[in-house]
Structure 1
Amino acid sequence: MKIFTAEQIRNWDEFTISYEPIASVLLMERASNAVANWINENSKNHRKIVLFCGKGNNGGDGFAVARMLYLKGFDVDVFVNDPKGKFSQDAYINFKRLADISGVSVRNFNQVEQYSFDDKTIIIDALFGTGLSRPLNGEYKELIEYLNTKKNIKISIDVPSGLFIDQILDENSVILKANYTLSFQCWKRSFLHPEAGIYTGKVIILDINLSKKYQDSTETKYFVIDDDLIESLFKPRNDFSHKGTYGKAVIIGGSYGKIGAAVLATKSALKTGAGLTFTIAPKCGYEILQTSCPEAMFIEAGEKIVEKFTIEEKMTIGIGPGLGTDENTAKGLLSFLRNYSNPLVLDADALNIISKDEENKNLIPEKSIITPHPKEFERLFGKTKDSFKRLELAREKAKELKIYIVLKDHHTKVITPEGEVFYNITGNAGLAKGGSGDVLTGILTSLLAQGYSAKNACILGVWLHGKAADLTAEKHSKESMLPMQVIDEFGNVFIDLNKRLTKSL
């Protein structure tokens, strides 16, 4: 799914109005109907609605939603800052339609503190949408501050009021904290960053049939990884294949006390389809690895740490899980990278070793994949003000070094050397545990070994990791789920993928 800027979204509306063709007020009706239907279907125990509407088109959506929900049997009240003030053309049309319904009361913002918000009341935010051009101030700021004190369920139409979609606001800005955001047609970039995503609650993308021609022809560098993209990338297993078809994956990692990281990465590579899997690790991990991962072959690389980085031809390598940063390990890794030119996966301590010297980054082979979390990224490339700035720096570095960066976060981002960004929307907070990154390293190494391009391995890999984590959370909870349990769910994800791609008779 493409992600567009606020300007591109406005142009998308205008293109749809011109070329469908459809009157703008009817397009508003279409969008509002989608919102009203979703609320009606998902609000069985809440039949009282209070809407806060602005003067622009987001407010027009709110007026139309108020009318539609009233006709569906909801008890509806509406607040505006001045019922006699100036509205946008389409907002005014819907305001007049609402005014003709005697059962809906329209009140001023200054009456809100006298309003009774019982625990069955849903608050709907239709103040600004994507049209906000500056931080909230005055009565709007005071209103949002007041609404944020209420424990009622809050639903924002399109965008939580106070939030920009193309940038991060100052930490002191006032933004409505929604439980749900019903957004039109596509994700907005700010929703996918932690500083802004905390305000959106659960994001629901409503398809309002904006022009597909515009969507297909309009260029962007930003995308959400969705099911359609995954289905286009995934390669089902050929019935006439053999183990040589799916490559040799090698995990280099582990040190005394950190063999578990190598186990997780190895098992992950095995469970995601590598034809042959090897683990290069210190001798102290031999029994553990051979017992826990009998399908993988063990190659000794030292006593308690990895010192020797020796591989055969046609092996795809993932380095880092539990590796440690011992002086001899660091020396061996950097020496290996100076003489190795094929794409590989670098994570965890491999990145920490590289970050010790600015020049080490130039040793990373072109088309390789690195998988830093925010702190590892900071060590490698420097500190940034916020996650938007961090992403832009990652785009610069991916282009400069000609590598793929998997920037781990709640919504992990895949950044390509061409400056494309793919946001992943699978996964959950249960992955915020030691070992989760090791699992991802195993996935990426395995997919590379199987012949996926680096770009496709990253996109499919982060999606698969998150999807398995979502299944794991359903069974064990985010609090109790373990990285090994995520690995156990890979099979169910692949079963579902194969079913979707199998043509039924």
Structure 2
Amino acid sequence: MKIFTAENIRKADAYTIQNEPISSIQLMERAASACVEWISTSCKQHTKFIIFCGNGNNGGDGFAIARMLYLKGFDVDVFINKDKSYFSDDALINYKRLRDISGIALKDFGEIEKYNFEKAIIVDAIFGTGLSRSLEGNYKDLVENLNLKNNPKISIDVPTGMFTDQLNEKKDLIFKTDYTLTFQFWKKAFLHPETGKFAGKVFVLDIKLNQEFIDNTESDDYVIDDELILKIFKPREDFTHKGIYGKSIIVGGSYGKIGAAVLATKSALKTGSGLTFVLAPKCGYEILQTSSPEAMFIEGGEKNINQIDEVENAVYGIGPGLGTEEKTEKTLLKFLGNHYSPVILDADALNIISKNENHLKSIPKNSVITPHPKEFERLFGNTENSFERLDLAKTIAKQLGIFIVLKDHHTQIIIPDGKVFYNITGNSGLAKGGSGDILTGIITSLLAQNYSSQEAAILGVWLHGKAADFAAEKNSKEAMQPTNVIDEIGNVFLDLNKKATTLL
């Protein structure tokens, strides 16, 4: 799914109005109806809604939502800024329609101090994508007050106070919602930690904007959705053998950190690698052979790796538990200097490379690196925020000809041509040691199975997150372990295969 800027969303609205054809007020009704359908289905246990409406089109959505909810039998009160008499054309139409309904009270923002919020859902329809500056005056006071309420909260399109395409200043006030019902597209601000934390759980509602316009309008930013994954995923064919599905070699482990190599090896096996090897120090031999008997062991040293053998037509995933001992460092850099096929680099492999910026040149073209924010900082320097970090990652990916998997709550896959793919699977249960080792094994296995570097990175990150979502459902985010994520990889593939078969 493409991510559109606020400007392109407005163009999509205008194009739809002109070419469907549909009037702007009818399109507003369509958007409001989609919200009401979600609310009436998801909030059945609630009967009272308090809707805060601005004077622009987001407020017009709010007026229409209030009217529709009332006609469905819900108790609805609406708050407006009576100091502002101006409404946008469509907001004015829906305001007048609402004003004619005697059962809906219209109150001023200033009246909330004396209002009884008990057992009500607060709905924010104040600014949406129309915000051009930080909140101030009575709008700021209102949002500050509402953020103190413990009521369930819903924002329409974009939480009030949030910019759509850029970060807010740290001092800016933003409405902190539980759910955001956004129209047609994810907004970039939802996907970055500084602002995404205000959006709650995001639901993208299809309001049938013109598909031709969407298809023909370029964007460098995408959300990884099921449609993209099903285009990438290759169901396993019947008349095949292990040689078809490649050789994966996990290079990792050191004394006291063999577990990282175990996790990467297990996830490579679970992801379908035809032959899986683990190159580790001798001290990990019994652990690895016992925990992963399907994988073949290659000895790379005594307590640390000091030798990496070149295996023909193999894909290397290097880093889990590797350590940064001097001999290991020399061995890794020598291997990379003589290796020209794409590799997966994570953890200590990245820490070794970060010691000298000249080491970056040794990363083979089309390789995939998977840094978390601190590892990225050590590799490429400090940035002020996640937007700046992403811009720097785009520059580096182009310069080095590599794919960067920038791990975060919504992990970003940055490809050399400047496109960015945001992942929306996964959860905070992955915030545990070992989760990154699993991702390394998954991507290594996919690359070995002849997925391209871009495909392996996108599918691998999505698969990792989806398995984590399944694990959280069974174990909770708090209790789930990386091994639970590995156990769920098979269930993700079962689900994928069912969907792929259904499409045939």
Match in the other structure for 1:327: 326
Counterpart for residue 116 of structure 2? 116
Query: Which position in structure 2 is the counterpart of 1:359?
Result: 358
Report the counterpart of residue 75 of structure 2 in structure 1: 75
Shift of 1:340: 1.1
- Which residue in the other structure is 1:184 paired with? 183
SS at match of 1:254: coil
Superposition deviation, residue 308 in structure 1:
0.3
1:181 aligned partner, one-letter code? T
> Residue 90 of structure 1 corresponds to which residue in structure 2?
90
Show the 5 A alignment for 1:201-240. 201-240=200-239
What is the DSSP-based 3-state SS (H/G/I as helix, E as strand, rest coil) of the residue aligned with 1:445? helix
Answering whether residue 50 of structure 2 is matched by residue 35 of structure 1, we say no
Measure how far apart 1:380 and its partner are: 0.4
Shift of 1:35: 0.6
Q: Which residue of 1 aligns with 2:307?
A: 308
Q: CA deviation at 1:379?
A: 0.3
CA RMSD of aligned residues (A): 0.9
Q: CA deviation at 1:310?
A: 1.1
Could you tell me how far 1:9 is from its partner in structure 2?
Answer: 0.4
Q: Could you tell me which amino acid in structure 1 is paired with residue 114 of structure 2?
A: Q
1:410-421 aligned within 5 A: 410-421=409-420
Asked if the contact 2:277/2:297 (under 8 Å) is kept, the reply is yes
Residue 447 of structure 1, CA deviation: 0.2
Q: Is residue 55–residue 84 contact of structure 2 (8 Å, CA) maintained in 1?
A: no
The structural deviation recorded for 1:357 is: 0.4
Q: Which residue of 2 aligns with 1:65?
A: 65
Aligned to 1:346: 345
Distance 2:310 2:477 in 1: 38
Residue identity (%): 65
Residue 22 of structure 1, CA deviation? 0.4
C-alpha separation between the residues in 1 aligned to 2:120 and 2:415?
46
Alignment of 1:150-161 (within 5 A): 150-161=149-160
Secondary structure of the structure 1 residue equivalent to 2:301: coil
Q: 1:83 deviation in Å? A: 7.2
Alpha-carbon deviation of 1:335?
1.1
Q: Structure 1 residues 465-474 or 82-91, which shifts more?
A: 82-91
Q: Give distance in 1, aligned partners of 2:164 and 2:359.
A: 36
Amino acid paired to 1:7: E
Structure 1 residues 387-421: Cα deviation after superposition (integer angstroms, max 9, x where no partner): 01101110010001000000000111100000110
CA distance in 1, matches of 2:227, 2:327: 46
Q: Which moved more, 1:99-108 or 1:74-83?
A: 74-83
The letter of the residue matching 1:337 is: L
Could you tell me which amino acid in structure 1 is paired with residue 487 of structure 2?
Answer: D
Which ranges of 4 or more aligned residues in structure 1 deviate by more than 3 Å? none
Q: Which runs of 5+ in 2 are unaligned?
A: none
Corresponding position of 2:196 = 197
SS in 1 for 2:298: strand
Aligned twin of 2:386: 387
In 2, Cα distance between equivalents of 1:361 and 1:312: 23
Give CA deviations for 1:323-349 in whole Å, capped at 9, x if unaligned. 000011001111111111110000000
Per-residue deviation, residues 328-386 of structure 1 (Å, max 9, x unmatched):
10011111111111100000000000000011111101000000000000000111111
| Counterpart residue type for residue 437 of structure 1 | G
Structure 1 residues 435-472: Cα deviation after superposition (integer angstroms, max 9, x where no partner): 00000000000000000000000110000000000000
Q: Helix, strand or coil for the counterpart of 2:250?
A: strand
Q: Which whole-Å CA distance do the structure 1 matches of 2:322 and 2:102 have between them?
A: 71
TM-score normalised per structure 1: 0.99
Q: Give TM-score, length-normalised by structure 2.
A: 0.99
The equivalent residue for 2:52 is 52
Q: Is the 8 A contact 2:394 2:414 kept in 1?
A: yes
Report the counterpart of residue 100 of structure 2 in structure 1.
100
Letter in 2 for 1:397: I
Letter of the 1:96 partner, please give it: K
Cα deviation per residue 1:288-321 (whole Å; 9 max; x = unaligned)? 0000000000000100000001121101000000
Q: Structure 1 regions of 5+ residues with no counterpart?
A: none
Q: Hey, what's the Cα distance between the residues in 2 that align with 1:66 and 1:302?
A: 69
Amino acid aligned to 2:405: V
- Alpha-carbon deviations, 1:277-298, whole Å to 9, x = none? 0000000000000000000000
Question: Do the aligned residues in 1 keep the contact of 2:306 with 2:331 (CA within 8 Å)?
Answer: yes
Distance, in Å, in 1 between the alignment partners of 2:503 and 2:362 is 49
Distance in 1 (CA, whole Å) between partners of 2:408 and 2:217 is 28
CA distance in 2, matches of 1:59, 1:503: 41
Structure 2 CA distance for aligned equivalents of residues 249 and 53 of structure 1: 56
1:251-291 residue CA offsets vs partner (Å, 9 max, x unmatched): 00000000000000001000000000000000000000000
Distance in 2 between the 1:504 and 1:189 partners?
A: 30
